[in-house]
Amino acid sequence: MDLDNTINSFKNEALKKKSENTVQAYVTDIEQFIEHIRKDIFDISQADVDSFKKHCFDKKLKPKTINRKLVSLRRFFNYINKNIDTNKICVDIDMVKIQRQEYLEEILEKTDFERIIRAAQQKKDTKAIALFYGMYLTGARVSEIIQLKIDDADNDIVSVKGKGQKYRDLFVPDSLKEYFNDYLQDRGIEGSEFMFVNSNNREPMTRRSVDRLVKKYGRLARIKLSKAHAHNFRHLYAFSLVERGLTLDEIADLLGHTDINTTRIYSRKTKKQLLRIIKNLE
């Protein structure tokens, strides 16, 4: 069996139901496992799976991260057993048990966001300003915000392809339209229908280029870099909606969540807030 071809076949099959980013995470996890065991995939034993799990713990990975890797392996082995006409892979993959304590860590606070915006304003970087406000004021995922077209700049509602290849609506406030148009006036790059493009070419920004930009201004703003990632703008949007009194159902609709339990985490305190409460008990 050609392992590379098998992984590619698995990837193509998974892409029918999962996003490209999710599938790429599967592949990365599988490759890490193969690198760890250093043997033919059909020669693996229960001890190899247990060894990989221990290896992940030794690297101080979080239980949720370890479980994601184990899910990747489980999906891959199931695919092989179902589609490859050869010996079956017979191992048990047990998830790490996690006590249900739902709170977000390393949250970007409004003051952090304002500092990042000020840093971008000092550089007169209208693209960064429009991009950051775009994620914060719509709750867009990175994969959604980079889909925006120039023609979307003045629309109240923009349809984007969200998680699970499902389309959803982004609601655009008037203040955000102003940031979009300020950027487009400065952009000076013709020949692309996409709103957010890389400055050195006409290609749309990628998740990586967006994260680099967030990290750049996170450093300039002197905020903790573990907070400076693009998805935190979406978290800030959700917490802002909670503060404004929206119901969890309303917030779930605005975030594009299909399971309200995913949204429920925003109604809980962060670790920092819980620690502050405990300290005030003294």
- 96 in Cβ contact with 62 (< 8 Å): no
First to last CA, the chain: 64
Residue % of the chain over a pLDDT of 90? 68
* Gyration radius of the chain over CA positions: 22
Distance CA 75, CA 64 (A): 16
Question: Contact 52/94 with Cβ under 8 angstroms?
Answer: no
Q: What is the pLDDT of residue 269?
A: 64
pTM confidence score: 0.67
Q: What is the pLDDT of residues 15-31, one digit of tens each?
A: 988 888 899 999 999 99
Q: Which one, of 235, 237, 218, 238, lies nearest residue 226 by Cα? A: 218
- pLDDT tens digits for 68-122? 999 999 999 999 999 987 778 989 999 998 765 556 677 889 999 999 999 999 9
What's the average model confidence in pLDDT over 35-59? 93
Domains of the chain and any CATH numbers:
3-83 (1.10.150), 110-277 (1.10.443.10)
